[in-house]
Structure 1
Amino acid sequence: MKRWFEHGKWPKWMVRLHYYTIVSFVLLLLTGVALYLPAVHAALITSLPVIYYVHIALGLVFGATLLIPLAARLPAGKLIRRLDWLFPLVFGTVIVITGIFIWQVTWFPTTWRSLAFRWHGWMSYALLAWLLVHAAYKAIGYRPASDGLNARVDPTRRMFLQWLGAGILGAVVLTVIDPVGWLTRSFTSKNDDESTGGRATGFAAYYTVTDGYPSADLSTYRLTVDGLVNHPTTLTWSDLMGLEPYTEEADFHCVTGWSVPNVRWKGVHLSSLVSRVKPLPQVGSVHFYSFDGAYTESLSLSQALDPTVLLAYELNGQLLGRQQGFPLRLVVPKMYGYKSIKWVNRIEFSDKPLVGYWEARGYDDDAYLGTRL
């Protein structure tokens, strides 16, 4: 077999592969931040569909590059540092596998995906920290000891398989078994503030399309129901509380990747409003408006009347927090969370669909789980 290098030098394709792996990981971090971090996410709304697909493509190729050494013969006599390969392979494998858990929303249980999302982020931070340390060592000309964990070794295919196995096992343990439950609890949403009464809801982030979260006073809150109906009406909070309550327990999925299992909602079903306002025969769509002045959403009439859809005012047994859509929000469990418009104060029955806020900026009208952006 032809030797990989001559005169003590690595082949050019191996050097390029090494640099690509580093650059692709940095790009993965940047695109991941854009998809997840609320402030950045909101600023880049129009570019999010492209960023999402770039992130997935980078992740798939990054995963493939981690496996290349398994299919190739390493250069005899060319010694490399153990940690140079061990950390990227183990941490990178965890990142790729948990990323697959997050990406394929219909393949895995929500409890797995919820844990995978947390560990996906934390392992990315860990690998970034290692790369920074590694770069600093390179910059100052650090040379490891002749023995120990970071000693120079001539890695074999068996060693790479062992390291890959450690990464796979780590991903499965952290995602499915979660032996350190206290870590899982500590990674619950840090976005809960006084607006949620200090309650941990499990939601990884709260998004708003305006500068801040709008507030409402129940004594003055009004829900207007109008459009192509026989009896337009305006309901007070007391009127809403007088309608038959409806409960639904379902998993909540955000299009950015995180999920919350078994969320308990309480509110009213849209059929209660339909029976009151009596839509005209030509009605085919239902539009929802937020009192933040910007957020809009639309469902077909059949989608809106799905048995699982409701206008919620309680989350897990307590009134919604301001960030969660207080006092009233739409909940569409079979679709990604961007369809579940918050701070609802008007519902309009129409004969044509409305292009919602997120859809106008590139999100898919078909928001059923399994589709993306």
Structure 2
Amino acid sequence: MKARWLIKIHHIHAILVGLLLLSGLSLFIQPVRTFFNEWKIPLVAIHTWIALFYIIIVLLSLKKAIKYTFKKPTLKKFNVHFILGLFLAWSLSGAIMYFQAHFPVPVRNTAVTIHDTVTWIAIPWLLIHSIGHTLKLEIPWPLWWKRHAKKPEWVQENRLQRRDFIKSLSLITIMIFIGGWLKWLTPMLHASNETNRRRGYFRIYNVTNDYPRYENNDWSLTIDGLVEEKKVLTIQQMRQLKWNTIIDDFHCVTGWSVKGVELTGVYIRDLFEAHDIKPKDKYITAYSGDGVYFDTFTLSQLVDEEAMLVFELDGAPLKKAQGYPCRLYHPTMYGYKSVKWIERLTITDERDYGYWQQNGDYDLDGYL
């Protein structure tokens, strides 16, 4: 009876791990992630719910699984311990990513790196394990490893005790964190003297698999809605205004951050003053040039809280995938409020939900 129960759990476990890997890879691979966005499928929420169900299944079956494998050959014990190691790394790093607002930037970035690394470790294991069971392939393991057979003397002499296991686990954990920390530090170590040194790296997220391309300075910003006079401002007019440079930390709601980013552009309050823009109401909707993405703000959030239109990042024009030639930036909000390829600001008398509030249950204000 116990064996049948464990077989069922094993199959459920395999299905859940497969779904986690598929949804996780879909989030990691930009075109696939964007495909789900275009169809308004909440992939992040799906991935999170699968993870929660997986954690519950593992915790419920943990005691019986360990008891069942206690007298089993070394191979089965190793398999269980290996899965538990992946489970712990996934769960802890995933929890930090989900509650990332409560952790400092180095911890967040390390958690993201660990989560990715564990996934890439799990993929070959899952393929080998699945193909081996499906085709009934026998890997030529030593008999003492896969069956109850006499172990070689060198194995018996170096038999691990509980304290050895704890030491090994601690060492592995330390090495994972060191690896994650070094990856987080890499962009700063490889920066040239002329480049703004920063920690972390950007991950590009779009909601469409294509993005607008502006050639020959054909970009313009329209300010319309409840204003005294509609304005259409060209890139040349933007260059005539006072540009400001700030150094700030860029934070994504998915857990990663980039420290010390140099952002250059025009404060929205300066733009409104210079062109005598007088809103007649207190809400603003910012529209992206991709024709899909938008987000909403109160007028005070953009005018009084030093929001800016950014044209340069780290002393160079924005890259196309980063929102060239212009994106919105608010210093105390998450990156999803930073509308890329911004083309229009519309003043309204009511505040609507933005793209991610409608499709991903994100916070309307998005404060850090």
Partner residue, 2:12: 20
How do 1:195-210 and structure 2 match up within 5 A?
Answer: 202-209=201-208
Partner residue, 2:143: 146
Contact residue 329 and residue 340 of structure 1 kept, 8 A: yes
The farther-off stretch of 81-90 and 311-320 is 81-90
Alpha-carbon offset, residue 369 of structure 1: 5.3
Partner residue, 2:276: 277
* Whole-angstrom CA distance in 1 between matches of 2:162 and 2:315: 50
Alpha-carbon offset, residue 107 of structure 1: 2.2
Counterpart of 2:91 (choices 86, 96, 103) is 96
So what's the TM-score if we normalise by structure 1? 0.77
Partner residue, 1:195: none
Which consecutive residues of structure 2, in runs of 5 or more, have no partner in the other structure? 150-159, 188-198
Contact residue 178 and residue 184 of structure 1 kept, 8 A: no
How many residues align? The count is 342
Alpha-carbon offset, residue 259 of structure 1: 3.4
Supply the AA of the counterpart residue of 1:113.
R
Counterpart of 1:174 (choices 173, 176, 194) is 176
The farther-off stretch of 260-269 and 137-146 is 137-146
Which consecutive residues of structure 1, in runs of 5 or more, have no partner in the other structure? 187-199
**C-alpha distance 333-23 of structure 1, shift in aligned 2 (>3 A):** farther
**C-alpha distance 212-308 of structure 1, shift in aligned 2 (>3 A):** same
Once the two structures are superposed, what CA deviation does each residue of 1:127-173 show, in whole Å capped at 9, x if it has no partner? 1211222334442144631346x6769xxxx9788657755654454
Partner residue, 1:190: none
So what's the TM-score if we normalise by structure 2? 0.78
Contact residue 294 and residue 355 of structure 2 kept, 8 A: yes
Partner residue, 2:285: 287
**C-alpha distance 233-36 of structure 1, shift in aligned 2 (>3 A):** same
**C-alpha distance 56-237 of structure 1, shift in aligned 2 (>3 A):** same
Partner residue, 1:33: 25
Contact residue 70 and residue 160 of structure 1 kept, 8 A: no
* Whole-angstrom CA distance in 2 between matches of 1:165 and 1:22: 29
Counterpart of 1:133 (choices 124, 128, 136) is 128
Contact residue 91 and residue 167 of structure 1 kept, 8 A: no
* Whole-angstrom CA distance in 2 between matches of 1:152 and 1:334: 61
Alpha-carbon offset, residue 51 of structure 1: 1.3
The farther-off stretch of 253-262 and 335-344 is 253-262
Partner residue, 2:299: 301
Partner residue, 1:321: 319
* SS at 1:342 equivalent: coil
* SS at 2:320 equivalent: coil
How do 1:155-166 and structure 2 match up within 5 A?
Answer: 166=168
Contact residue 263 and residue 315 of structure 1 kept, 8 A: yes
* Whole-angstrom CA distance in 2 between matches of 1:113 and 1:220: 39
**C-alpha distance 208-343 of structure 1, shift in aligned 2 (>3 A):** same
Contact residue 354 and residue 364 of structure 2 kept, 8 A: no
Residues 1:230 and 2:228 aligned together: yes
* SS at 1:330 equivalent: strand
* SS at 1:25 equivalent: helix
* SS at 1:261 equivalent: strand
**C-alpha distance 36-63 of structure 1, shift in aligned 2 (>3 A):** farther
